Structures are given as structure tokens and as C-alpha cells.
Amino acid sequence: SQQGEEDPQALSIQEGENATMNCSYKTSINNLQWYRQNSGRGLVHLILIRSNEREKHSGRLRVTLDTSKKSSSLLITASRAADTASYFCATEVPYSGAGSYQLTFGKGTKLSVIP
Amino acid sequence: NAGVTQTPKFQVLKTGQSMTLQCAQDMNHEYMSWYRQDPGMGLRLIHYSVGAGITDQGEVPNGYNVSRSTTEDFPLRLLSAAPSQTSVYFCASSSRQGNEQFFGPGTRLTVL
């Protein structure tokens, strides 16, 4: 079953604006990751934040993690048309026996950046 | 490095046919996995492997078989294709479970 759930399902903004996407999850995690998928392509890893971290930056990306609320947000600043893609959160959770962990993916947020 | 490669890119099968989706990585990653992506469903884990000779089932394993004879290759076999297996299949690898995963470009499969 899917652990993470992104919100909103779709987001449309003008170029130059900031885009914020949220992810909520149900159980304790080791880490949370964000991925981007351009139409018809494979997923590309953006950023990983561990359960003991609260905020992480990578270029124009800022990720926050609130383990008490079981939620994360991805902020893309000064968006560009090239940021148009689907964005997925993935949580590392224990799976099927001792010491085994898996990434479980949400359904994604579809971001459209209008030039 | 080529990263993760998948073949074929597209495939059409008839119900009951079998086929193998190929996946290879050249990053010496121990962990490999197969996902399927359906509209509105996100990615669901089919099978995974933590190293050569070791495989295990994921969330949706029925109708699929895997083996891992080498570190580099992780083929996915459809035993008797069904229309419900129409999907886009992604292979991924990482240095260990839970780390950043590197995805292949995907195989779009249609079962008639």
C-alpha cells in the first residue's frame, strides 16, 4: 500500500513564481526522498532528507521534514518552464522482515510552469 | 557510465504470451528493483534484489518472476501476459536499500 501522498495533485504557476508541494505519510520513516519525472521518462532523484534532519537545500530546491506531523514539503524557487514535470515523494520504511527497507512512492504532483 | 538501461522501450503482447524485460546497470549497485507505474497509482514495487542470487517479492509480484545471476542484470519475466499488466515498467538500482535510486528510461508494455 502507498505510504506517501502528495498534495496538490496538480499545480499550475507562472514562470518566476515559487512552487510548493506537500507530502504526508503514515508510519515512521528512515528517510524521505523527492524525485522528478518528465513526461515519458524515468524518475530522477532530487534530494534525500533523513528523519533526524529538518531542512535541506539543493540549488533552487528546499525540502522540509516534520516528523511529528508526518509531512514534508518541497519548495522550488524562481520556477522555470523546464521545471514542468511530476514530482514524487518516496519514504524509506521497514519492509518484510528484519533489516529490510523499501522506498514507497506517492502518486505525485503534476507541476506546470507557464512561460 | 550508461547508468541503468532497459530494453525494449515498447512492447505489445497478446494475452497469454510470455516475455522478459531486460535491465542492466553499470554502477556496481547491489540493490535493484522493478516497479510498475499506472495512471493515478504512482509507482508500485514488483520485485527487488539485494544482491546476486537474492530476490524477494514486493507489493504486486503476482504474474512476474525475477532472477539475479549477476550484479549487473535483473530481468523481469512475465509468465502469461494479461491485460491488467499493461503498464510502464521501471527498473532502478541503488548502492543499498533506501538510498538514492537511479531509474532506467522505462518499458511501455501493452497487453491485448
Q: Which residue has the cell 517479492?
A: B57
- Which helix (DSSP H) or strand (DSSP E) does residue B51 occupy? strand B42-51
The span from the CA of B34 to the CA of B56, in Å, is 11
Whether residues A1 and B101 touch (CB distance < 8 A) is answered with no
DSSP output for A92-105: EEE-SSTT-EEEEE
- The cell for B2 is 550508461
Which amino acid, residue A56?
K
CA distance B74 to B66: 7
pLDDT tens for A46-69 read 999 999 999 999 999 999 999 999
Is pLDDT at B94 greater than 60 in this prediction? yes
- A59 is written with which cell numbers? 540549488
β-bridge pairing A5-7 and A19-24: antiparallel
pLDDT tens for each residue of chain A, 115 residues long: 556 788 899 999 999 999 999 999 998 888 999 999 999 899 999 999 999 999 999 999 999 999 999 999 999 999 999 999 999 999 988 766 556 778 889 999 999 999 9
Q: What is the pLDDT of residues B15-43, one digit of tens each?
A: 999 999 999 999 999 999 999 999 877 89
B39 in contact with A, Cβ within 8 Å? no
Question: Chain A interface, mutation test: which of B4, B46, B54, B97, most A Cβ atoms within 10 Å?
Answer: B97
Is there a contact between B103 and A96 if contact means CB atoms under 8 Å apart?
Answer: no
Q: What's the CA gap between B83 and B94, in Å, rounded?
A: 30
Which residue type sits at A62? R
Q: Which of B40, B92, B98 sits opposite A31 (nearest CB)?
A: B98
A43/B4 CB distance under 8 A: no
Which phi-psi region, left, alpha or beta, contains residue A108 (left: φ > 0; alpha: ψ -120 to 50)? left
Q: CA A55, A35, A30: angle at the middle one, nearest 5?
A: 55
